[in-house]
């Protein structure tokens, strides 16, 4: 397989309180800083692109945070169909699976998934399930796996709802600060487990604003972060409340669980995804969110540290190029695209597509048939 590797170095220094850092200065920066700490009230944007921005916290208005990182981007001449499943399986220790479009669609299990997972476990492979869907907590996803007849432990599941709470813990977000949630129950449950105070969520789904002359909407000045995820009860009240917190509360973080354009609420069609909610808040605040879900490397770094896994020994399996495959590539993993979800073969092979997986196949159960043909 022909390949071309380009290494790009980028650095950024932004003063505390800088209102409008130039996007051109940081548009090529990828990855999250796992050593950020929340120690004062003045935020500094230390990296941002179309996928996320990340923040440090200064103890002085005059201090600066400088971030420099070498990033590697690999582009391939053309996508390669998976022809030898055994070879790929033997080359890695861990498989990370996206869920929607890979394991299930809506509430319907994709054919051949149980047998495929059993095969990989029989070969001693570690299986991890990562989803950008923030509507459920890890525990709730565990119940969904069980309902679908899959034996998956809670410790093997990583949802973006969990990632949001984990990120706050990683930067020592103060426990006396509150989190305003635009999203569903999964985020609330993970914040509660992490010991954080929160408001919003489904409770604000029925609230309306009576726009009388001179009306001023109040908001909690102790909100230190706004977390935005997929929200089926998204409304103008939530947009305005989140906007006020981000724009008026000093140092308030804008965290997105993901920026997925579409999602699979049912197996009949695609539905508007969490990116539509994030986009509304981005538009009203003119701020780039810090994205903790795919393709940000935060969850990949977390998984590698949690399980002691070498990233070169991981294969990321997903149905989306701009989240799943980019997530694996950003993390330095092998990547396998399945055509059972969002991405079609024509989209993959389009000259306009710049994200190429190592391999592609129709669905993960192809591991079974391709294994049979190569014996």
Cβ-in-10-Å burial (0-12, 13-18, 19+) of 150 comes to middle
Integer angstrom CA distances of residue 192 from 36, 60, 74, 90, 175: 22, 31, 40, 40, 11
Residue 64's CB: how many other CB atoms inside 10 A? 14
Residues whose CB is less than 8 angstroms from the CB of residue 230 and which lie 6 or more positions away in sequence, other chains included:
133, 134, 135, 183, 184, 257, 258, 260, 263, 273, 274, 277
- Helix, strand, coil shares of the chain as percentages rounded to 5? 30, 25, 45
Instruction: Give, for 298, the enclosing helix (H) or strand (E).
Output: helix 298-307
Residue keyed to tokens 């914040």:
191
Is 90 annotated as catalytic? no
Cα distance between residue 151 and residue 157, in whole Å: 12
Q: Please check whether residue 189 is in contact with residue 137, taking contact to mean a CB–CB distance below 8 angstroms.
A: yes
Which one of 86, 90, 98, 107 is the catalytic residue? Answer: 98
Is 98 annotated as catalytic? yes
Q: Please check whether residue 162 is in contact with residue 190, taking contact to mean a CB–CB distance below 8 angstroms.
A: yes
Q: Please check whether residue 130 is in contact with residue 158, taking contact to mean a CB–CB distance below 8 angstroms.
A: yes
Which one of 100, 204, 319, 324 is the catalytic residue? Answer: 100
Q: Please identify every residue annotated as catalytic.
A: 98, 100
């Amino acid at each position: 397989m022909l390949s071309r590797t380009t290494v790009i170095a980028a650095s950024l220094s932004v003063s505390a309180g800088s209102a409008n850092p130039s996007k051109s200065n940081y548009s090529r920066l990828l990855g999250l800083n796992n050593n950020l700490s929340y120690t004062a009230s003045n935020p500094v944007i230390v990296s941002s692109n179309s996928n996320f921005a990340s923040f440090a916290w200064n103890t002085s208005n005059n201090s600066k945070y400088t971030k420099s990182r070498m990033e590697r981007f690999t582009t391939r001449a053309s996508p390669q169909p998976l022809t030898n499943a055994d070879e790929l399986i033997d080359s890695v220790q861990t498989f990370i699976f996206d869920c929607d479009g890979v394991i299930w669609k809506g509430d319907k299990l994709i054919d051949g998934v149980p047998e495929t997972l059993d095969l990989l476990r029989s070969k001693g492979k570690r299986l991890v399930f990562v989803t950008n869907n923030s509507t459920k907590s890890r525990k709730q996803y565990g119940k969904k796996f069980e309902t679908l007849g899959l034996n998956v432990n809670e410790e093997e599941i990583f949802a973006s709802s969990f990632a949001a709470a984990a990120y706050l813990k990683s930067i020592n977000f103060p426990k006396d600060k509150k989190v305003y949630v635009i999203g569903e129950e999964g985020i609330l449950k993970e914040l509660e487990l992490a010991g954080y105070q929160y408001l919003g969520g489904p409770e604000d789904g029925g609230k309306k604003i009576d726009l009388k002359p001179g009306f001023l909407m109040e908001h909690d000045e102790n909100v230190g972060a706004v977390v935005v995820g997929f929200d089926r009860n998204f409304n103008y009240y939530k947009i305005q409340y989140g906007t006020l917190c981000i724009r008026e509360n000093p140092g308030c973080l804008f965290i997105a669980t993901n920026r997925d354009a579409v999602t699979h609420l049912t197996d009949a069609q695609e539905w508007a995804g969490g990116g539509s909610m994030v986009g509304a808040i981005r538009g009203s605040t003119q701020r780039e969110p810090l994205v903790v879900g795919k393709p940000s490397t935060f969850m990949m770094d977390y998984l590698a540290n949690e399980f002691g896994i070498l990233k070169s020994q991981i294969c990321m399996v997903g149905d989306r190029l701009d989240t799943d495959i980019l997530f694996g590539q950003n993390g330095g993993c092998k990547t396998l695209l399945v055509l059972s979800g969002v991405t079609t073969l024509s989209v993959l092979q389009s000259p306009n597509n710049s994200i190429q997986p190592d391999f592609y196949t129709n669905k993960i159960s192809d591991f079974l048939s391709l294994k049979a043909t190569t014996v």
